[in-house]
Structure 1
Amino acid sequence: MSLSIVIMAAGKGTRMKSSRPKVLHKLAGRPMLSHVIASTSGLQAAQQVVITGHGAEMVEAAMKAEFAQAPLQFVRQEPQLGTGHAVQQAVPVLPDDGITLILNGDTPLIHASTAQALVDACAGDKLALLTIRLDDPTGYGRIVRDETGVKVLAIVEHKDATPEQRAICEVYTGMMAAPTARLKHWLSQLNNDNAQGEYYLTDVVAMAQAEGLSVVAAQPRDEVEVLGVNSPAQLADLERRHQRAQAERLMEQGVRLADPARFDLRGTLQCGQDVDIDVNCIFEGNVVLGDEVQIGANCVIRNATIGRGAVIHPFTHIDGDTLGAHVGEGSLIGPFARLRPGAQLGNEVHIGNFVEVKNSTLGNGAKANHLAYLGDATVGERVNYGAGSITANYDGANKHRTVIGDDVHVGSNCVLVAPVTLGAGVTIGGGSTITKDVPAESLAVARGKQVTLSGWQRPQKIKR
């Protein structure tokens, strides 16, 4: 039986107090809507329909860029006249058979297994609602059951509920699965005879009941799956809940987190054995940490692989972006170091404080311990790169490469003007500006001759 997924993402999100559409606000470094689309991508749906409205062009562009290979369709709800009106906009692109699963774009942590359970509960001949019991159900539609407590009779929106109905703790999460043909018929019968003058999707429950169709309920494993976001405070709360859950999963695998409340994962993190992570670290994109890796406090690591036994000292920033970054086994990085895209470090490499490496390869045992820059460079093994030295890789129009052979010693405060090659075993005298290739086992010094004037007097300040 074919499955269609409809995601409601048209709301303005007034309480977010932002010009950005609500569903594009980020949780764990990713737009909320992206989480919903990604979590349901494994359900083998024939189509995914995203209903946009406020900021439609921005939302559609963002999703097309992120899910270029996904079979996404977009329909617009303009103006926004309620949830029922929103789904009505999807009717022209829905088939006449199968099951339609309706999800919320601002409820980002729905699990694929929960969505699948909702589809299974529908089974093509029932209306299935995703419900949950909350200690504080304020704002949610209440589930009204018969006197036996088994049969679902209706969903009453909070704004329209009586005091008795507001005391009900079981709520509708805004997500349902229905036979597509019946859903299309029910949507055509909706009216806006309610306090808000809107077309409520929840009214289809009464229609299903009137037709004798069974209305069933499914529940998520955890309430975090169904918590929606309507304000910055709710977004922040959901962020911390999500991060805590990710931290607990890592600790169950043996990762030692100094404080799971001060940990952020905004992508995927794969860890070997005996990994230690200090406080306030952020991991983005795809990060792999080998066995016995130590990450110091306040580090940011994105799209990088860190080899076994490497130590990343505090306040280090590693950003591999699309090129990736690699730190070899036993390397020491930081504190206050920066590795940019294309940094590929061998084993036992030392990158010290205030050293920046970009699009460069460093061989085993190479060291740049202080205040240096290596950009577009190929650095051999056991190179010692002095404090204050840089590769001048940009001529104002094009980038050029510097090649440094094995066992080279570059003195402090040197400038290597690319393109330039230093042969194996070369020594560069401190303070030199090197513009020509240097053959192996040579000493190169390129600086002005020192002049010393005896008895020289400094100028005196003139008193006025």
Structure 2
Amino acid sequence: MAMNVVVMAAGKGTRMKSALPKVLHRLAGKALVQHVLDTLAPLPASTRIVITGHGAEAVEGTCQGQGLRYVRQMPQLGTGHAVQQAVPVLATDAPTTLILNGDTPLVQRKTAEALATACAGQRLALLTVDLLDPSGYGRILRDPQGRVQGIREHKDASPEERAIREGYTGMMAAPTALLVRWLSQLRNDNAQGEYYLTDIVAMAVAEGVEVVATRAGSETEVLGVNDPLQLADLERRFQREQAEALMRGGVRLADPARFDLRGELVPATDVEIDVGCVFEGRVELGEGVRIGAYCVIKNARIAAGAVLHPFTHIDGETTGVEVGEGALIGPFARLRPGAKLGRDVHIGNFVEVKNSTLAAGAKANHLAYLGDATVGERVNYGAGAITANYDGANKHRTVIEADVHVGSNCVLVAPVTLGQGATIGGGSTISKNVPPGHLAVARARQTVIPDWARPTKIKP
């Protein structure tokens, strides 16, 4: 069923106490409004409209989705006034208009579909939820037969009406033609001097249009964000849901309360994840992978049997990072975009790898840097060794063939190739190719001066 989809994203969010528009604050690493747009993307919409206002350019620049249209609410005079701005771009041949909030990020697709189905281009359908504390929510007013008669905004509600626990979530679906007419009849004679979208409920009742309430599947999916406390609460609720889904699939989390997924995690069987880990983008974990405490992993594929020791940081950005079977990474290691590690590779503490491939069995165990390098099998890369891959204008590649041993505190000035089985003496600066099997040493001869005395301070 084709429909208009309208997302209200114009509010400033004063209680957030931030220069950032409220809908651009992040939940699980993604803007609140983008969560809503991604949820609605599969729906068969004729028109997708985002109503912006405060920080409109920033909001419009952040929103992603096919066929989005933007209208601006300037100034912001209430929810009814917001939807009035969308009227000129509504598809009149779409019988239903679905209206959702940009600051309610966890609304589910099936809930939105149920709301549109309940409307069916004929009824006014409201999304409601029963709350232990409905403070701030409009209350659903019903007649003795249980039929919806109206919504009373919290600020305008009497004590008796505030005792009602069924709250209006701010989301509805309305017959398009009727919605346009009702919007034109809104008045602002209320405590806030605003045009309330909820006033159309009374108009529908007066005209004999059926008003129905569709219950949300859970409180969490309809919770909005108005201040940092609510944002943090929603973050933990969302992360707990994701953690529980992973555990039901067999992942062992040391503590689901200390787990953050800000993207997509695809685990195989027997995966173990310790506390404080953060996953971003798309991360694939092979069978038996173990992730130590406080690792941050973004856009990476970790093959079966690999172990990431605590405080490892992997950031694949757009090109990704690959870790081979049985590899041992960390603690305190850093893998950057383009790092591709083969089977049984060891990357130890304070080692950084960027845009480099390491073949099976290669080891860089301490305090080293590998950038723009091709490293062969069984290479031993010493502590303090670096590839000097940047000449101030261009990047150059270092090739280290199989079974090379690089001593500690070496500088490999790219472009340079170390032939198979070569040995580089500790403390060397290598700027020329080294043939296979050769020893290269490039450092000054040691000088020893006998009976040398250090200078002493001259006392005034």
Same fold (TM over 0.5): yes
CA apart distance, 1:223:
0.8
| Aligned match of 2:97 | 100
Aligned to 1:11: 11
After superposition, where does 1:12-411 map in structure 2 within 5 Å? 12-63=12-63, 66-67=64-65, 70-97=66-93, 98-149=95-146, 151-411=147-407
Shift of 1:134: 0.2
**8 Å contact 2:46–2:91 — kept in the other structure?**
no
Matches of 2:292 and 2:29, distance apart in 1: 21
After superposition, give the CA deviation of every residue in 1:62-100 in whole Å (9 maximum; x if it has no partner): 11xx44xx1111100000000000000000000223211
* Letter aligned with residue 303 of structure 1: N
**Residue in structure 2 matched with residue 449 of structure 1 by the alignment:** 445
Corresponding residue SS for 2:45: coil
Whole-Å Cα distance in 2 between the matches of residues 400 and 180 of structure 1? 61
The CA deviation at 1:322 is: 0.3
Q: What CA distance in whole angstroms lies between the structure 2 residues aligned with 1:96 and 1:120? A: 18
Cα deviation for residue 38 of structure 1 reads 0.4
Please give the alpha-carbon distance, in whole angstroms, between the structure 1 residues aligned to 2:222 and 2:386. 52
Instruction: Determine the C-alpha separation between the residues in 1 that align with 2:378 and 2:6.
Output: 58
The CA deviation at 1:220 is: 1.7
How many residues were matched structurally? 459
Amino acid at match of 1:53: G
Deviations 1:242-288 (A, max 9, x none): 11111000110010110100000000101111111000000011111
Using the TM superposition, name which of 167-176 and 179-188 deviates more.
179-188
Q: Give the Cα separation in 2 of the matches to 1:220 and 1:349.
A: 50
The alignment-based identity, stated in percent, is: 71
Q: Which secondary structure does the structure 2 equivalent of 1:460 belong to?
A: coil
Poorly superposed stretches of 4+, deviation over 4 Å: none
Deviations 1:31-77 (A, max 9, x none): 100100001111121221000000001111111xx44xx11111000
Counterpart AA for 2:336: R
The C-alpha deviation readout for 1:135-159, integer Å capped at 9, x for no partner, is: 000000000011022x110011001
Q: Is the 8 A contact 2:50 2:71 kept in 1?
A: yes
TM-score between both structures, scaled by the size of structure 1: 0.98
Unpaired segments ≥5 residues, structure 2: none
The alpha-carbon deviation at position 15 of structure 1 amounts to 0.3
Q: Cα offset for 1:123?
A: 1.1
Q: Which amino acid aligns with 2:60?
A: E
Tell me, yes or no, if the aligned pair for 2:35 and 2:105 is still in contact at 8 Å: yes
1:116 Cα shift?
Answer: 0.6
Deviation at 1:458, TM superposition (A): 1.4
The question of 1:435 aligning with 2:447 is answered no
* 3-state SS of paired residue (1:238): helix
Per-residue CA shift, 1:373-418, capped at 9, x if unaligned? 0001111111100000000001111111111111111110000001
Deviations 1:179-235 (A, max 9, x none): 111111111111111111100000111111122111111112111110000000000
List per-residue Cα deviations over 1:111-167 (Å, max 9, x = no partner). 111101101111111111000100000000000011022x11001100111111110
Cα distance, 1:461 vs. partner?
2.1
Q: Look up the equivalent residue of 1:82 and give its one-letter code.
A: G
Deviations 1:319-353 (A, max 9, x none): 00001001101000000000011111011000000
Q: Tell me which amino acid in the other structure corresponds to 2:155.
A: K
Tell me by how many angstroms 1:463 deviates: 2.1
Q: How far does residue 443 in structure 1 lie from its aligned partner after superposition?
A: 1.1
Offset, 1:3: 1.1
Question: Counterpart amino acid of 1:22?
Answer: K
Q: Work out the CA distance in 1 between the residues paired with 2:405 and 2:109.
A: 56
Deviates most, 202-211 or 19-28: 202-211
Matches of 1:245 and 1:451 in 2, distance apart?
A: 66
2:47 touches 2:91 (CA, 8 Å); kept in 1? no
